[in-house]
Amino acid sequence: MASKKIKMTSKTLSGKDLKAIQGSIGASQMTQGGQQAVIDPVNRIEGHLRIDMQVENGKVADAWVSGTLFRGMELVLENKEPTDAAYIAQRICGVCPVSHAHAACFAGERAYGIQIPNGARIIRNLVEGAQFLHSNILWFYNLNALDYVNPLDALKANPGDAVDLAKAAGTEVSDFKAVQSRLQNFADNGQLSIFSGNWFDSKDNDYALPPELNLIATAHYLEALEMQAVSSEISGIIGGKMPHIMSSVPGGTTFMPTEDKLADIKYRINRLHDWVQNTMVPDAYAIAPYYLKTAGTYGKGAGRYVAWGVFDTAGREMAGRYLPGGVLEDDLKTLSDPDETKITETTARAFYSDDGTPVNPRQGITQPDGSQAGMTSESEFGHREGKYTWTKAPRYGGKPYEATALSRMLVAYTRAATSNYDPTVSTNSAYQKGLASIKTNIDKMLAHLSKSAGKTLGVSALQSVLGRWAARAVETLYITERMQDWVDELIEAIREGDSSTFVKPNRYDGEGAGMWEAPRGALYHYEKVVGNKIQKYQIIIPSTWNVSPRDQSGVRGPLEQALIGVPVADLKKPLHALRTVHSFDPCVACAIHIAEPRSGQTFDTITTPFGGR
Amino acid sequence: MPSFDSLMESHGVSRRGFMKFCAGVAATLGLSQAMVPKIADAAEQLVIGTTSGVLAPALWLEFASCTGCTESFASATTPDVATVILELISLNYSETLSAGAGWSLEEAMDQTINATKTVRNADGSTSTEPVGYILIIEGALMEGWNDNALVIGGEKSTDLIKKAAKNAVAIICAGDCAVDGGWQAASPNPAGATGVEPYLKKAKAAGQLDYDIPPIINVPCCPANPEHIIAMLVDYLLLNKLPQLNEYNMPSEIFGQTIHDNCPRRGHFENGEFVYEFGSEEESKGYCLYAMGCKGPQTYSNCPLVRWNRKVSWCIEAGAPCIGCAQANPNMADHGWVDLNSPFLNRFKHIGIGNFMFDPTYLAYGVGGLVALALIVHGFGMRAAGRTTGGADFETFRHYDLKHPDHPITDKPLAAEEASHLSADMQDEAIDEELKIAQPQLYDPKAAKKKGAAK
């Protein structure tokens, strides 16, 4: 049997010098009553994450999420100039540098008292959009899909049936036979340990796709590797290089791309749009029904959502962005505009030396104190009563909020209801058209899921692990549509003589916050500038919201909440818990690396085939 | 056993793509194209060799980093020839890159580090020695709070590197953070970030290492350029040699010439045609970014040749000045590129051409006159110096702005005190110049035009 052969492959390797290219799930007995499952480090997220879970009666009873690296970006940026900050701050994260650059630019522009020209706005939207596509495609296929798709099983598929299935599902028909023989080639080649230590045999037992669908998804997984690289090429064409672009500075952009470059960009956007429309979205439709009863039921989390909004329209209001800002609570019933003054952060359970009083980031300070940081290594989880992470705990109106793509989609969906869009009128704004498109696509997805569920699912059904990835598929399509518009908008602007991309500062003293979105969620940068030197800098990244620790009152962060109640049948391979973590797409590299003490137990690998990532 | 071509094919790589890759590697390494078939041969031999069991293991460890070097290395080009080859022959142990990787656990790392092979000696006896592996490091080591600022899998980053370096055949430090701590080590260096080479040297001096430090190859830039990393791996793995290194242990072929040397905008520099504002008409004409603080003249890297993201562009093509991210300095703490080069939009006083740093006011009358004249015309008040390891000084007074109040380079108005300093300084300079030699006559197109019109 194929899978057996592949396992032997990994043993061949082990026999030499790399016995186990081992991954990372361990389990140990819990000291008090329940059992303890530890995921460490969580693979297939950018960076590491340490999750401690207490399991009782087959479910997660409690969870702790912690981080073990402090880097100190906020402190490094002090005494630098706002332009320096735009270049340095993006080096906080190699996956979402563009978002950090833009949040830093916004903060600088507020401090300078300026607004960027129209051309710069569109160019920034394009480079930001390219980064979103890269991140969403990478996440959807290469980081998240293997929790649902079993490529080993694809070897059993009949390629002819796969063609029929792909046609029926409306997704792209690839050369499935070729993909299968490539898979077989991998399996036959004794060098490749690509499937070692997979979770396909988890006793949580929830790889539910038929072999043909596994084959289809595997074929598209390979295509996704190319497509996410094409997205990065767009970032490179505009930004000079990616990661860490050069083109966005406080005041606008460094240049107006030449016609030649615009043509290169347009071609790539069209290619991406077609692929997302014909492959990624149909794949989501095809796979989702198989997991409605599992991933569709757990992992809700805080149930409150923040989005600061991303992709400026000509009007430049946060609530009027192409992906609008907004705050949702009360089971999605109450929507309000983001209010910066309601944001607070506390260090009550994090390694900082201030007294832990929640304060607005404008008053916030960063005083790291790592004297207890060593505790996260092999300590007996004693840190649970005290400080246990480098992540501060952000709150909005005193409560924890989720900041993800789902937040953006839910906010946009709710706003669509009040946007006065009339399909019969041609004068609808781009904003109105955009919201209508999101609403249509979400309704379509919900109708599709309702059919499988046998009952009507409302938008609140998206508040689950499955909902998070469905939301990302909808968002990705939406961004490719808007990027097509933006290229044309930019060409039109140039044609009309509006090719300015940069304005000088009005002043060199001031303060300002940049509220924006990274692919992973709401992003906040604040700076206070005196004599063109930064006196104070504060950053709240999306993962800080999501992997937040408990606050001063002991209220858990969104991921900690989402994990509670998740079923765990296999302590060593808690598949459902892993899916829950992945659904937040924690970009902890943004804030911290997170890791875990060796538990001395057997470890297995979570793998990504094909040198994927 | 699958043939080389079918193996490549199974990764979606054609023969043609493979040959193109070999040519690219040769170019990055500064090798002649006559070497291309040799690289191809070596690759083929190695890949086929691996299927009969000859592995060249590599470990890719990630410390305090942004994952940007990983993204840069793999994500932008996966699954291309390089990734395929490197996976097949070596990169079997990495957190995110390698097929079936998931390195994270110390057991697996220990096995790689401690793997031994039996060697038959000349006298017929046998002995065991380490198999060895290439160690690739991304990210900085953290010394803050007793090294607890970074703990991975229950171990401090500093303990991990001491362990991992032991049997390495070579250590490739990918990106500035691994070289000297990167931005994390910038003032005030909040978490005690440091590079691999400085840390290991310190540890060795303190008697904490019971082995000699393996050869270290520093590959700066933020992030590391994937072409550079691939070139290093291929150099070692395929051509079986370590590259020639400069005094910073950086490969001379890649970091031996300045960005300025190979810059496509160099002609405008020599013509004295500069960009003074982002997004300006001068920028759209592709003028030189020196006046915007470009660090190209001081920064040693072949960026203009290898470019980025499958060679679609690079920093200067995007109208942005080089911010000198290749200027990591493993030999001197606290002299990383961020501290050295910020504020990024300020110009250095000194300029380097080729391997020389010089003062254009003197050279104006000798070789390379055009360059210097252009600079003098633009009032760049330069002073002579060599490339200083301690970093060059910034031009503190804005001579140009004072001379050209109608179109100053910087936006800030001159403070009264600064202006008076400035004019005193300029008077001194004027006297200096008068004493030395008369200012040469410069071609002034406007005057010429007027002259023509008068005729």
Last residue of a domain, one of B248, B268, B296: B248
Which residues of chain B neighbour A80 with C-beta distances below 8 Å?
342-343
Question: What is the reported pLDDT for B171?
Answer: 95
Q: Has residue B52 got a pLDDT over 90? A: no
Question: What is the reported pLDDT for B93?
Answer: 60
Q: Has residue B80 got a pLDDT over 80? A: no
Three-state DSSP class for residue A63:
strand
Question: What is the reported pLDDT for A91?
Answer: 94
Is residue B38 included in any domain, yes or no? Answer: no
- State the Cα–Cα distance between residues B174 and B226, nearest whole angstrom: 9
Three-state DSSP class for residue B3:
coil
Contact A161, A212 (CB under 8 A): yes
Is residue B31 included in any domain, yes or no? Answer: no
Q: Has residue B41 got a pLDDT over 60? A: yes
Point out the catalytic residue in the list A321, A415, A520, A525.
A520
Is residue B319 included in any domain, yes or no? Answer: yes
Contact A361, A524 (CB under 8 A): yes
Q: Is B267 found in the same domain as B211?
A: no
Query: Which residue range(s) make up the domain with B88?
Result: 53-248
Lowest-pLDDT range of A22-36, A205-219, B187-201, B362-376:
A22-36
Is residue B153 included in any domain, yes or no? Answer: yes
DSSP B9-45: HHTT--HHHHHHHHHHHHHHTT--GGGHHHHHHHHHH
Strands B141-142 and B151-152: unpaired
- State the Cα–Cα distance between residues B263 and B275, nearest whole angstrom: 15
- State the Cα–Cα distance between residues A538 and A92, nearest whole angstrom: 13
Across B70-91, average pLDDT: 66
The alpha-carbon radius of gyration of chain A (Å, integer) is 24
Cα–Cα distances in Å, from A502 out to A114, A519, A591? 10, 26, 31
Across B81-94, average pLDDT: 63
End-to-end Cα spacing for chain B: 84
Give the B window 74-113 contacts with A, CB below 8 Å: 74-79, 83-84, 87-88, 92-93, 95-108, 111-112
Question: Nearest CA of chain B to the CA of A604: how many Å?
Answer: 9
Residue B215: is the preceding peptide bond cis (ω within 30°)? no
- B46, B75, B414, best to mutate vs chain A, most A CBs in 10 Å: B75
Total number of domains in chain B: 2
Q: Is B303 found in the same domain as B210?
A: no
Last residue of a domain, one of B248, B272, B290: B248
- B278, B327, B407, best to mutate vs chain A, most A CBs in 10 Å: B278
Q: Is B416 found in the same domain as B445?
A: yes
Q: What is the CATH number of the domain that holds B355?
A: 4.10.480.10
Last residue of a domain, one of B248, B275, B290: B248
Q: Is A543 a residue of the active site?
A: yes
Across B2-21, average pLDDT: 77
Question: Nearest CA of chain A to the CA of B314: how many Å?
Answer: 4
Q: Is B406 found in the same domain as B266?
A: yes
Contact A132, A519 (CB under 8 A): yes
**Residues of chain A falling short of pLDDT 70:** 1-49, 186-199, 374-384, 572, 587-613
- State the Cα–Cα distance between residues B111 and A280, nearest whole angstrom: 40
Q: Is B302 found in the same domain as B390?
A: yes
Give the B window 221-260 contacts with A, CB below 8 Å: 222-223
Question: What is the reported pLDDT for A56?
Answer: 80
Q: Which among A21, A237, A242 has the least Cβ separation from residue B103?
A: A21
- State the Cα–Cα distance between residues A221 and A215, nearest whole angstrom: 10
Question: Nearest CA of chain A to the CA of B71: how many Å?
Answer: 7
C-beta atoms of A76 and B188 within 8 A: yes
Q: Is B301 found in the same domain as B193?
A: no
- State the Cα–Cα distance between residues A191 and B10, nearest whole angstrom: 13
Question: What is the reported pLDDT for A198?
Answer: 59
The residue behind tokens 């005030």 is: B188
- State the Cα–Cα distance between residues A536 and A529, nearest whole angstrom: 7
Point out the catalytic residue in the list A93, A121, A304, A402.
A93
Is residue B318 included in any domain, yes or no? Answer: yes
Residue B188: is the preceding peptide bond cis (ω within 30°)? yes
Is residue B177 included in any domain, yes or no? Answer: yes
Question: What is the reported pLDDT for A308?
Answer: 97
Phi, psi (5° rounding) for residue A587?
-100, 60
Q: Has residue B392 got a pLDDT over 70? A: no
Question: What is the reported pLDDT for A150?
Answer: 87
Residue B402 makes CB contacts below 8 A (sequence gap 6+) with B414, B419, B422, B423, B426
Contact B234, B25 (CB under 8 A): yes
Residue of A nearest to B184 (CA): A71
pLDDT confidence tier of residue B29, bands split at 50, 70 and 90: confident
Q: What is the DSSP letter of B440?
A: P
Provide the CA A385 distance to its chain's centre, in angstroms: 30
Phi, psi (5° rounding) for residue A70?
-115, 130
- State the Cα–Cα distance between residues A290 and A206, nearest whole angstrom: 9
Which residues of chain B neighbour A92 with C-beta distances below 8 Å?
66
Which residues of chain B neighbour A369 with C-beta distances below 8 Å?
145
- State the Cα–Cα distance between residues B277 and B288, nearest whole angstrom: 11
Q: Is B400 found in the same domain as B297?
A: yes
Task: Give chain B's length.
Answer: 455
Which residues of chain A neighbour B280 with C-beta distances below 8 Å?
502
% of chain B residues with pLDDT over 70: 65
Q: Is A46 a residue of the active site?
A: yes
Q: Is B364 found in the same domain as B242?
A: no
| Nearest Cα to Cα of residue A249 among A237, A240, A260, A258 | A240
Is residue B413 included in any domain, yes or no? Answer: yes
Provide the CA A379 distance to its chain's centre, in angstroms: 30
- State the Cα–Cα distance between residues A524 and A514, nearest whole angstrom: 6
C-beta atoms of B308 and A241 within 8 A: yes
Q: Has residue B120 got a pLDDT over 70? A: yes
Q: What is the CATH number of the domain that holds B134?
A: 3.40.50.700
CB burial class (10 A; 0-12, 13-18, 19+) of residue A312?
buried
pLDDT confidence tier of residue B87, bands split at 50, 70 and 90: low
Q: Where are the beta strands (DSSP E) in B63-112?
A: none
Q: Is B260 found in the same domain as B243?
A: no
Q: Where does residue B309 fall: left (phi above 0), alpha (psi -120 to 50 degrees), or beta otherwise?
A: left
Is residue B101 included in any domain, yes or no? Answer: yes
Greater model confidence, B433 or B47:
B47
Phi, psi (5° rounding) for residue B4?
-60, -45
Question: What is the reported pLDDT for B406?
Answer: 63
Q: Among positive and negative, which fits the CA dihedral A336, A340, A341, A342?
A: positive
Across B310-323, average pLDDT: 95
Phi, psi (5° rounding) for residue A458?
-85, 180
Question: What is the reported pLDDT for B355?
Answer: 46
C-beta atoms of A21 and B100 within 8 A: yes
